[in-house]
Amino acid sequence: MKGFALLDWIVFLGYASIIVFTGLWVSRTKKGEQKTTSDYFLAGRSLPWWTIGAALLAANISAEHFIAMSGSGYAVGLAIAAYEWIAAIVLIFVAKYFLPVFIKKGIYTMPQFLAQRYDKRVSTIMAVFWVLVYIFVNMTAVLYLGALAMERIIGVPMIYGIIGFSFFSAVYSLWGGMKAIAWTDVINVCVLIFGGLVTTFLAVSALGVDHGFFSGFVELIHKAPQKFHMIIAKGTVFVPNGSGGTKDAFQDLPGLGVVLGSMWLTNMSFWGFNQFIIQRGLAGKSLKEAQYGVVFAGYLKLLVPVLVVLPGIAAFALGADLAKSDEAYPWLLSNIVPVGIKGLAFSAIAAAAVSALSSIVNSVSTVFTMDIYKAHLRKNTEDKNLVIVGRIVALIALIIATCVAPQLRTLDQAYQYIQEYTGYIYPGEFLIFFCGLFWRQSKATAAVWVALLTIPLGILLKVISPELPFILRIGYVFMILTVVMIGLSLLDKSHNIENQFGNELSRRRTIRQGWRIIAVAAFVGLVAAFFVVPMRNLALEAIYVLVVGFILIGAILILNSTKQTMDENGLIIERSLFKTTDRFNIAAIGICGILAVLYGFFW
């Protein structure tokens, strides 16, 4: 086997054995007991904050990060870290404003919330979307990239690697469900962070004159200064296109669009309304524990670029001559990392792949079982039957993904593939959930139309303007769908009930606040209009995503406080629900402070 010594095998197989043993151990039930749906899908709602934080990172960080994001680091540089650093701030909003509502509603799945807030049409459409995206985009990408690492590092043929990762995930996750996944994720996160840090240390140190990390980092910046900019202007950086040519990196990371535009939208959707992510928060033993876990995950996200982006930049600086950008991390393990440590580093990749794969599989199982099978086929079936169905669905999903994954071989930067194709669903998903949570007058029929239009609109814009960066395309779809959502909801007079207002002073204060938000957003949009054309190489037009988003927020505040009627399923939320502890607030401020320093230094 290519460069993988006996000691490396011992380290890797030792890790794999611990994971399987832990997963099966925590999955045990007392004699005569049967797993309930709460046990299998939400770990009995018993997870502490540190397990939630670790499980969130493990569900998010997969082989797509170690292989694909490292590949983007090699090709583009630090700018790709925007996905991680913006996510850290978004997690604060998720913990403070989204999670309290979901936990109060006592739901298992995101489609279940949609069924309560709108109707079964909306929940079914979104459930089908999620199942298809999870299987054909997320699971296939995780399997492909994990197998790519095995092929490049160990020499195992890709098809065997894909089958191996599927089997590894199935051994404990199909039987134990969320509890097995969450507790093994704690081990996986420790392995992936430690193994990732060791690889980063060795890769950067290899550049130093004295093989020291700090001298190596100075040399890294000196050799690849173009890789340490967060904002990429059009026509300045070119990367492989996967077909032997090159393309403008602006297509993937369009200038200011990564910090002012729909990057916020995609992160809100991914972290706030994504089943295999939010499911960890729903499994917390209390709201406070869940919120602490989510903000802990925010700190872990700050660390991710150190684990996966820096090694890619280091591979570039070390002169790695690669056929594909996604081979950067395997190249480091084959050429820089010594025997024994290589086994640990590969265990980190395996930990990321298996934990993410298991999380997605469990979510496919949960959504299909609770929102399709139980909701439409067997409404009164027993818990034990639902658990059996969940296991069968998980197995089928793994088999399908295993068959499809080899087709991704032609990709150069698989991370961008995942972001682009999941991006088709994000604009509609965000609007449906956000309006469902906070706008009392949002209607089910409007949500149905938004759900049905989000993918066709994205495809249409891609056909009309194939050169338009997908991040900007997501923003344009969002702005169109915002008009659709507001317009159809206001026109729909069905299923209305009398609106409920608080005290008059509070109501007037809310109305004034809404108008102030709209006025400021409109002013920013007006001023930006004078600079859009001169700054087109930096995609300043992306700021209109935020402008429209804040106008939407202002309109919601005004309409909630002035319209005499509301939808019969509209939510009346007391502001006290969003009150957080001082410990949470200090932690949130810490994340914002760290990010301000990072962006100030690397802008």
Q: Which amino acid is at 488?
A: L
What SS3 state is found at 451? helix
Q: Residue 431 — pLDDT band, cuts 50, 70, 90? A: very high
pLDDT at res. 235: 82
Per-residue pLDDT averaged across 132-140, rounded? 87
pLDDT tens sequence across 331-344:
888 888 888 888 88
- Cβ-contact 132, 124 below 8 angstroms: no
pLDDT of amino acid 525: 95
The tokens describing 414, both together, are: 């698989």
Q: What's residue 1's pLDDT?
A: 41
With beta carbons less than 8 A apart as the criterion, state whether 511 and 298 touch: no
Q: Check residue 354 and give its pLDDT.
A: 80
| Alpha carbon 517 to its chain's center | 28
CB 254 within 8 A of CB 470: no
Q: Best-predicted range by mean pLDDT among 28-42, 148-162, 228-242, 577-591?
A: 577-591
Statement: residue 33 has pLDDT above 60: no
Q: At a CB cut-off of 8 Å and minimum separation 6, what does 55 contact? A: 47, 181, 182, 185, 186, 189, 280, 283, 293, 359
The whole-number average pLDDT for the span 408-415 is 62
Candidates 196, 186, 172; CA nearest to 50 is: 186
Decide: 37 and 372 in contact? Cβ < 8 Å: no
Task: Please tell me the pTM assigned to this model.
Answer: 0.87
Span 476-489, average pLDDT = 96
* H runs (alpha helix) in 318-468: 328-335, 341-367, 383-404, 414-422, 426-438, 444-464
Specify whether the CB–CB gap between 349 and 307 falls below 8 A: no
* CA atoms lying within 13 Å on the CB side of residue 189: 23
Q: Torsion angle, CA of 179/175/63/266, rounded to 10 degrees?
A: -60
Q: Which of 23, 127, 186 is nearest to 366 (CA)?
A: 127
pLDDT mean over 506-518: 94
Cα–Cα–Cα angle for 323, 326, 329, rounded to 5 degrees: 105
User: What three-state secondary structure class fits 565?
Assistant: strand
H helix intervals, 263-340:
263-273, 275-282, 287-317, 328-335
pLDDT number for residue 192:
83
Model pLDDT, residue 36: 59
Closest of 522, 544, 330, 555 to residue 434, by C-alpha: 555
Answer whether residue 554 shows pLDDT above 80.
Answer: yes
Nearest to 438 by CA among 100, 148, 15, 56: 100
Reference 387, options 106, 20, 38; nearest CA is: 38
Percent of the chain whose pLDDT exceeds 70: 92
With bands split at pLDDT 50, 70 and 90, how would you rate the model's confidence at 62? confident
pLDDT of residue 241: 66
Model confidence at 437: pLDDT above 50: yes
Structure tokens at 263: 């990057």
Per-residue pLDDT of 263-310, as tens digits, reads: 899 899 989 998 878 877 888 888 899 999 999 999 999 999 999 999
Q: What is the mean predicted confidence (pLDDT) over 323-330?
A: 82
Mean pLDDT on 29-45: 59
Residue 175 — pLDDT band, cuts 50, 70, 90?
Answer: low
State the Cα–Cα distance between residues 261 and 188, nearest whole angstrom: 33
- The DSSP line for 153-221 is HT---HHHHHHHHHHHHHHHHHHHHHHHHHHHHHHHHHHHHHHHHHHHHHHHHTTSTTS-HHHHHHHHH
Domains and CATH numbers, the chain: 6-30+43-226+258-414 (1.20.1730.10)
Could you tell me the CA-to-CA distances from 384 to 38, 67, 98, 370, 387 in Å, in that order? 11, 39, 31, 13, 5
User: Could you tell me the pLDDT band of residue 3, with boundaries at 50, 70 and 90?
Assistant: low
